[in-house]
Amino acid sequence: MIRRHRILVIGRNGQLARALADAEWPNLSQVQFAGRDEIDLFHAVQLRQQLSSFNPEAIINTAGYANIEQAELKPEAAFALNAEAAHVLATAAAMLDIPLLHLSSAHVFSGNKTEAYREGDRTEPLSVYGQSMLAGESAVQRARGRHLILRSSRFFGRHGDNFLKTMLAQGRDARELSFTASGFACPTPVDALADMLPHIAIALIEGRRFAPILHYAGDSAASWYEIATEVFSLARNYQPVPELVPLEMPAEAGAPARASNLSLDCSMARNLGLPKIDWRAALPPLVEALCNPLSNPVADQAARVPVQAA
């Protein structure tokens, strides 16, 4: 009889959780999803009881506050979800000896480095969002349980709010759009990440040792202008597209500090056998699906979120 590993995904409605729900899980896994109605990330005793009732062998934590701009206006909410909840979850998982796969972000870095960031590089987040994510990483490490912190970057896909949907929605009505050409990051198709997370969780269950932090994102860095150029070169087959104008991002009073380079060095992930994530190859079917929602019912309504959100 095949033994199935029990994996619990924290989160239901975020784009990564929804991509995990759509993913083809290995036949050695049995997955459950827990949203805010099933699990309380702010009360330690209740959380331990709930985790015990789910009885997972590994936890994938996708929950978090992901709106970078709103985090500047609501720092308490960002730190509550990204740091305090991570602390309660990591502590409970450590007490129950359940390995935890915790998702984090490239925004824990300052962006001042000229090369891609490696796992051991100094973290100096400029934004409230990045600070809250770094606090979450620290909380997971302090819990001293079995864990892996996986940093990724700039998700896009069919579900939820993401830059691809925003670009396409704005492009339908605009003759001209401007995008910064001075900041770089690694776009990550969320479906590709979701395909690999179950395998990483199973490896943790089976006792494979990882470094405490791992970078895994799209295989090449690009600016918002470069990303928009790729997107609209495909979108012109399905809808009107705007003229694109590159610009330098000016500093705005009250706006979150902008990092110039948030690209991630994923060589450690490749050395572990994880495949490269080709974000450009992932774009064509997604652009087609999002531009033709009637013929692609899985595509969500276009998001109304700032293009700069990662």
Q: What residues pair up with 215 in beta bridges, in sequence order?
A: 151
Q: Which amino acid type is present at position 59?
A: I
Of 149, 153, 122, nearest to 137 by C-alpha is 149
Q: What is the helix (H) or strand (E) element at residue 136, kind and residue range?
A: helix 128-142
- Cβ-based neighbours of 132, under 8 Å, separated by 6 or more: 65, 71, 75, 78, 79, 81, 82, 83
From the list 117, 129, 216, 225, the catalytic residue is 129
Cα 194 from Cα 188, distance rounded (Å): 10
- DSSP letter for 242, please: P
DSSP-assigned letters across all residues of 51-100: HHHH--SEEEE------HHHHHH-HHHHHIIIIIHHHHHHHHHHHTT--E
**Sheet of strand 261-262: strand arrangement:** 222-223, 184-185, 261-262
CB 269 within 8 A of CB 148: no
Residue 67's contacts (CB-CB under 8 Å, 6 or more residues apart) are 129, 161, 305, 309
129 belongs to the catalytic site: yes
In angstroms, the CA 153 to CA 310 distance is 7
Which residues participate in catalysis according to the annotation? 129
